[in-house]
Amino acid sequence: MFEKTFEDQKLSSAERKALTQIIQESNLKNNQVGYLRNQIFDIARGAFKSYSALQVIDWLENANKLLLKSNPNLGDSRTNEIYFSPGNECLNAINHSLQKAKSTIEICVFTISDDRITNNIIACHQSGIKVRIITDDDKTLDKGSDIYQMHQAGIPIRTDETPNHMHHKYAIIDQDILITGSYNWTRSAAKYNHENILISYDKGSIKPYKEEFDKLWKEFIDYK
């Protein structure tokens, strides 16, 4: 419906009324509202053909965030998003979050073997985003592991090289978005397993995850 109303770049009174009714009747959860807000900006971006125009919409989104963050009574309007598998909800949530990255992606995940995520990570790296990956040394040897492929693409990777497991499953994007949960970044997790993903924008939660990532990065060794 939002895409349809954007065809003439106007949101008429009748369209606003119809959308309001649909939204109210849909009884959307907070994570669904947050997802739709992100999608609205993506719809607007898709209409721009020039780089300068894209800068305008980026400015609009960042200015909007700044107003919300600078008001202590409002705080960050983004709410936690929660997704479950089997199915592609977790996969799509990870990829959508990765695509938002502007400067850094720090991944600390037990095993990565889903090409649909790997290709996205490599694309982010090739676009100039600083990507770092921590993973379990044993899982790099699994059939289907994408660690070697990402290493060959030039992404810095470190592993634990211990008899124990580096069993974390989280990622931090621009120190602004946290992806965590039980979900392994594998095709079997999407197709068969009962897993979960939590996406958080809470600075208080992101900080300790970032500190743990930096600690492990110093302790672990380069993947070879």
Domain spans of the chain, in order of start: 2-70, 81-222
Q: What is the reported pLDDT for 41?
A: 76
- Residue in 125, 179, 176 with CA at minimum distance from that of residue 149: 125
The answer to whether the pTM exceeds 0.85 is no
pLDDT tens, 27-85? 877 677 777 877 877 877 777 766 567 666 666 666 566 554 544 444 455 789 999 99
In eight-state DSSP terms, residue 131 is E
Whether omega before 156 lies within 30 degrees of 0, making that bond cis, reads no
pLDDT in the model for residue 71: 47
What's the fold here for domain 81-222? Endonuclease; Chain A (3.30.870)
Identify the three-state secondary structure at position 132.
strand
pLDDT the model gives residue 47: 73
Which pLDDT does position 15 carry in this prediction? Answer: 83
pLDDT per residue over 184-209, tens digit each? 999 999 999 999 999 999 999 999 99
Listed residue (175, 167, 159) closest to 207, CA to CA = 175
SS3 109: strand
Q: Which of 17, 167, 194, 215 is the catalytic position?
A: 167
> Is residue 167 annotated as a catalytic residue, yes or no?
yes
Does the active-site annotation cover 76? no
Query: What does the mean pLDDT of the chain come to?
Result: 87
Average pLDDT of the residues in 121-147? 95
Note if 10 is an active site residue. Answer: no
At 221 the three-state DSSP class reads strand
Q: What is the pLDDT of residue 8?
A: 77
pLDDT for 18: 85
Which of these, 84, 89, 85, 79, lies nearest to 33 by C-alpha position? 79
Active site residue: 65, 174, 203, 210, which one? Answer: 174
Tokens of 125: 């790296």
Residue 160's pLDDT band, with cuts at 50, 70 and 90, is: very high
Q: Quick check: 162 and 199 in contact, CB under 8 A?
A: no
Q: Report the distance separating Cα 197 and Cα 62, nearest Å.
A: 25
Measure the CA–CA gap between 100 and 47, rounded to whole angstroms: 18
